[in-house]
């Protein structure tokens, strides 16, 4: 905690110097993408979503995210040999979001790419699979005083036997989430669909975040100012590639909070909801080698494009600065 009072001007000065240094160093050295962190969402005891409609493959989100992430890491290593590719996990282990963020920050990632899959609240319905007897009783009283008697009568009915089951969702496709900037762009919609099982790590009891703490607010502000535009650019590139292979493009969405790991990583960060495990076609696509590879290829192409955009822009800025001097 900062104690202000007499040290107030010193504190302000330090802050100004910090920002000046920061600006100068960014202007002088062209921004290079040196390290990309690939996070396979969930893992171990944390399954993420699980498909449970009738006829599903009972897919667990944690396995799909791992399979796609492994293919993505392999592809990135092949196609971006000058970039250090760091996966948060390569096996079925549990990691809380704090651990994932620590790996990203300690490896000095320039980008954080989280792989997830969507799930929704499914409708339950039933079908008649036979009939069975059901008995209920009625009670009547006859007589008065000491002669009063209770008469119980059984009634038997034939009733349908119902089997309850869940219907798959008709929603399918890929979307990308980024953390919201307070300056909301009209181009990006806020995520508010009511039946979505939102990607969130607020339920993780190991986190225990104080959203009102000055540290958390400062990190949120830093994220917003420095990384929002870059995260949006990368998310947009990913969705464009998804669109180009004819897969349902559900667009770029922003979340105000709830994805702790996106905010806690001090770098541009995106979370890709690769598809719906509760949709018949999407589940089979996500479960297949072909589908997993196609998605990994789309993300790879987007990352290559993004890297060249950022580095070209940074090089041009550096040239402009050099010319002025
Ligand atoms: Zn997830």
Give the Cα-Cα-Cα angle 226, 231, 235 (nearest 5 degrees): 170
pLDDT confidence of residue 29: 41
Residue 223 confidence (pLDDT) = 65
The three-point CA angle 157-158-160 to 5° equals 130
Ligand 1 center from residue 200 Cα (angstroms): 8
Number of CB atoms found within 10 A of residue 77's CB? 12
pLDDT (0 to 100) of residue 137: 94
Cα Rg for the chain, rounded, in angstroms? 28
84 CA distance to ligand 1 middle (Å) = 25
Place of tokens 């993420």: 48
Domains and CATH numbers, the chain: 33-121+173-313 (3.40.630.40), 124-166 (no CATH)
The rounded distance, in Å, linking the Cα atoms of 144 and 139 is: 16
The answer to whether the CB of 260 falls within 8 A of the CB of 112 is: no
CA of 43 to the centre of ligand 1 (A): 10
Give the contacts of 27 (CB within 8 A, at least 6 positions apart). 317, 318, 321
Assess contact for 69 and 50: CB atoms under 8 A: no
Ligand 1 center to 118 CA (angstroms):
7
For residue 208 the two structure tokens come to: 């225990």
Alpha carbons within 13 angstroms on the beta-carbon side of residue 127 total 5
Residue 244 CA to residue 118 CA, distance in Å, equals 21
Strands 249-255 and 124-142: unpaired
Full pLDDT tens readout for the chain, 325 residues: 333 333 333 333 333 333 333 433 343 344 799 999 999 999 999 999 999 999 999 999 999 999 999 999 999 999 999 999 999 999 999 998 888 989 999 999 999 999 999 989 999 999 999 999 999 999 999 888 888 888 999 999 999 999 999 999 999 999 999 987 655 444 444 444 444 455 666 555 555 666 667 776 666 666 666 788 899 999 999 999 999 999 999 999 987 666 777 877 888 999 999 999 999 999 999 999 999 999 999 999 999 999 999 998 877 777 776 666 5
Rounded to the nearest whole angstrom, what is the distance from the C-alpha of residue 48 to the centroid of ligand 1? 5
């Amino acid at each position: 905690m900062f104690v202000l009072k007499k040290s107030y001007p010193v504190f302000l000065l330090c802050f100004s110097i910090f920002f000046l240094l920061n600006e100068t160093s960014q202007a002088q050295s062209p921004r290079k993408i040196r390290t990309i962190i690939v996070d396979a969402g969930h893992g171990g005891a944390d399954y993420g979503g699980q498909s449970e409609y009738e006829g599903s493959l009972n897919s667990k989100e944690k396995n799909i995210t791992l399979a796609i992430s492994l293919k993505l890491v392999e592809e990135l290593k092949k196609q971006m040999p000058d970039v250090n590719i760091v996966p948060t996990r390569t096996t079925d282990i549990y990691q809380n979001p704090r651990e994932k963020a620590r790996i990203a920050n300690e490896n000095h990632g320039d980008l954080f790419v989280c792989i997830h899959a969507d799930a929704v609240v499914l409708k339950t319905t039933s079908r008649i699979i036979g009939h069975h007897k059901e008995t209920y009783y009625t009670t009547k009283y006859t007589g008065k005083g000491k002669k009063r008697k209770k008469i119980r009568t059984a009634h038997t009915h034939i009733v349908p036997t119902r089997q309850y089951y869940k219907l798959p969702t008709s929603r399918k496709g890929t979307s990308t989430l980024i953390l919201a900037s307070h300056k909301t762009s009209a181009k990006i919609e806020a995520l508010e669909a009511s039946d979505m099982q939102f990607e969130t790590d607020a339920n993780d009891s190991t986190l225990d975040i104080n959203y009102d703490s000055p540290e958390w607010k400062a990190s949120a502000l830093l994220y917003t100012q420095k990384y929002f535009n870059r995260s949006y650019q990368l998310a947009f590139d990913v969705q464009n590639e998804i669109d180009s292979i004819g897969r349902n493009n559900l667009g770029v969405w922003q979340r105000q909070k709830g994805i702790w790991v996106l905010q806690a990583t001090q770098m541009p960060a995106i979370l890709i909801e690769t598809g719906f495990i509760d949709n018949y076609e999407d589940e089979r696509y996500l479960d297949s080698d072909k589908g997993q590879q196609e998605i990994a290829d789309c993300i790879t192409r987007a990352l290559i494009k993004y890297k060249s955009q950022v580095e070209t822009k940074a090089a041009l800025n550096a040239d402009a600065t050099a010319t002025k001097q």
